[in-house]
Structure formats: structure tokens, C-alpha cells
Amino acid sequence: MSDLAGAYRTRPDPKPPSGPWHGALSSALIFGGAVWLLVYTLLEVPFVEALGPWNYVGVAATVVLTTLVGYTWRGSPYERPTRTSRV
């Protein structure tokens, strides 16, 4: 009989979890977009007012960038709890 061990697909090694900077970047983008929108709508800041309606495009781009950063996040592998893991 032939050796079938090489015929089965094996999963590649999982990629390591994302670093802590990944969550910080995502949070900073979310809050940065919110602050940008609030500054434009509530305050009269000259360099923000100069952009006019392009501020909404900038905030939308920040939302899209935050979504893309979120898609690239990798968490740690799931470990199924056992009966003996109760505290």
C-alpha cells in the first residue's frame, strides 16, 4: 500500500495575533473621525472650515480606513474551555 500521509492537506501554521498597536490604531481612527466631524459641525476652526464639504469625505475615508484596519486584525486562537477550568 502506498503512503497517503503526503496526500492529505495540512493547515498552514496560523499567523501570530496582531500586536497591541493594531487595536490602538483602530481606536485612534474611530475617535479621530468623530472628533473631526464634531469640530467641523460645532466649532469655527479656520483650517477645517476652509475644506468645506470635503470634511465629510475625509470622515468617510477615516471610517473606510478603520474598517480595513479591523479586517486585518487577528486575535489569539480560541481555546475551548474544559470542565476543570471553572474557578
Average model confidence (pLDDT) for the chain?
A: 85
Evaluate whether 36 touches 58 at the Cβ level (below 8 Å). yes
**Hey, what's the cell of 44?**
469655527
Separation between Cα atoms, residue 14 and residue 20, nearest integer Å: 18
* This prediction's pTM: 0.68
What pLDDT, in 10s, does the model give residues 39-63? 999 999 999 999 999 999 999 999 9
**Hey, what's the cell of 48?**
477645517
What is the predicted pLDDT for the residue at 9?
65
Separation between Cα atoms, residue 55 and residue 47, nearest integer Å: 11
Is 86 a residue whose pLDDT tops 70?
no
Taking the domains of the chain in order of start, what are their residue ranges? 20-74
pLDDT band for position 13 (cuts 50, 70, 90): low
